[in-house]
A and B are shown apart, each in its own frame.
Chain A
Amino acid sequence: MKGGGLRIYAVLYLVFLYAPIVLLPIFAFNDSTIIAFPLSGFTTKWFGELADIPALHGAVLNSLMIAITTSLLATTLGICASRASARYAFPGKKPIMGFIMLPLVLPEIIVAVALLVVLLALGLPLGAWTVILGHVLICTPFSIAILTSAFANMDRSLEEAAVDLGETPWSTFRLITLPLVMPGIISSLLISFTISLDEFIIAFFLTGTEPTLPVYLWSQLRFPQKIPAVMALGTILVALSVLLLTIAEYYRRRGVARAGGKDTGGFL
């Protein structure tokens, strides 16, 4: 059979990739404080426990606020850069774009400590806004990666037609370009939101007295009796990410279809 051995390998690889995520809900509904097999019984009490932790609610709100602000700012910056790179030729394009995309490969701890020393040197207080600054930096390259293909797939003659028909550059952008790349923009907003919501190391260094959700989770991992509630929280988070990603993927595909391009698959 063609690719028979490879197919088995691929399925095993998927098992390896999904192993942690499959275990998460199993332990979240398990009636025991010890995270190990054999299972004890079904319970939803860990989910109920989540409702009684005010510190958690504060962290969730803080993270949501940071993630929403980050996704808006990163996508705005992403639109500028990807539009410039897809539409115009300008001097220094390669080094400029390369530098903007650098956080994609730079270890996050380097970004985190570099921002921390600047804030220390300037004597500025840490807080949600410093986390946002860091998150925008690392989310922008992802936004650009998504939006560059959206802008590049667009048929440019549509814009030229609008200009020829008397529209100004701004109204052309608003009436023609923006609707065509809207799926890419929504996809970029969702991806940036997801990255920011999950990001730990930059938040760990730059958050002040109000922790973000991952920083709060990190502090809870030290207490064995808190772990089942963490599993329950993790289950909710994973379900939420999968939902957001499915929506993002739906819009990305629709965008590819709308621009009449061929689907090359994936976000990266």
Chain B
Amino acid sequence: MSRRQRSGRLGRSEAASGLLLVSPTALYALLLLAAPLATILAFSFWSQDYLTIDRSFTLKNYQEAFASQANGDMSLYLELMFRSLRISGAVTVATVLLAFPMAYFVSFHVAPSRKSMWIFLITIPFWTSYLIRVFLWKVILGYNGVFNTTLQGVGIIDEPLTFILYNANAVVITLAHAYAPFAILPIFVALEKIDRSLLEASRDLGENHITTFLRVTLPLAMPGVVAAVLIVFIPTIGDYVTPRLVGGPGGQMIANMIQTQFLKLNNAPMGAALAVLAMLMVGAISVIFVMLNRRFLGGQK
């Protein structure tokens, strides 16, 4: 009651104060995110002839994106789109699977006072120059790279491995490295929230370590895993630097084509159409994933 009286005395309701306070940030996001996203949608229905933009409505860009090539193969755009989805999917699976034991270790086997030090250690590499990190993976994975020379030195292999640079594998390894903290943190937070007495109860009721993990820990950690999957999958599909530096011709992704359309071919409308298609695809897959997860794991938020 006293709070309501006080805000009454100040002459503004709680809702009005909140809205007023959030409005600068909301307005900024509206002007610099909502409006640009709407503009890109509009652009995708326009066309461009060298530097002049023709603003009459056309579906030409989308038709071009979906049209088959003369020899019956799918268009380069669709091929890049599906390849991006495949690579992002592989990155997501690899990153989350590798991250889970790490998050589990920090949450269950590290003393509470040292947990934040571990989390800090995990996040540091993520804050260092992304370009340089990706470039160093090129150095590590190259023909005469650190990885190959080490393996040759130890005598495990005779010839340098060539399947780890300038292809989709290299992109997956590099992105799994870049997005590791994004996967570890949400899983860690979910694991931290688990009431430890539930695990004790499970053990008391005769379940062993493995069944307790599968039937208690894992379902309770699922919200964190879902968040990790989304937070890795959605941004990786639009990654430009990694495919460009370590991907080779077979590892290029949709973002590279969007960049080419905008900055090299002066075809902003086609680039916009590809950006819209990429967003739609990522959005659709994310929604399906969340729904499947709800359906099979029973009403978890």
Residues of A within 8 A of B (CB): 2-3, 6-7, 9-10, 13-14, 16-21, 23-24, 27, 35-38, 76-78, 80-81, 83-85, 87-91, 93, 96-97, 99-100, 102-111, 113-118, 120-121, 133-134, 136-137, 140, 144, 160, 163, 169, 194, 198, 200-201, 204-205, 214, 217-218, 221, 230-231, 234, 237-238, 241-242, 245, 249, 253, 263-268
Contacts and interface: CB of A to CB of B under 8 A. Distances in A.
A36 B137 contact: no
Contacts of A21: 125, 128, 133, 136
Contacts of B146: 23, 36-37
A10 B255 contact: no
A91 B15 contact: yes
A38 B185 CA distance: 37
B32 to A, nearest CB: 5
Contacts of A6: 101, 104-105, 109
Nearest to B186: A268
- Chief secondary structure at chain A's binding surface: helix
Task: Report, nearest first, the 3 A-B pairs whose CB atoms are least far apart.
Answer: A107-B238, A88-B18, A90-B18
16 contacts: A10-B101, A17-B177, A18-B125, A20-B132, A20-B133, A20-B137, A20-B140, A80-B25, A99-B33, A113-B272, A114-B275, A198-B130, A204-B240, A217-B131, A221-B131, A237-B132
A214 B131 contact: yes
B222 interface: no
A35 B140 CA distance: 10
B142 A109 contact: no
B8 to A, nearest CB: 13
Contact of A234 (B35, B124, B129): B129
Interface of B: 2-3, 6, 10, 14-19, 21-26, 28-30, 32-37, 39-40, 43, 53, 98, 101-102, 104-106, 108-109, 115-116, 118-125, 127-133, 135-137, 139-140, 142, 144-146, 149-150, 177, 180-182, 185, 188-189, 192, 230-231, 234-235, 237-241, 245, 255, 258-259, 262-263, 268, 271-272, 275, 278-279, 282
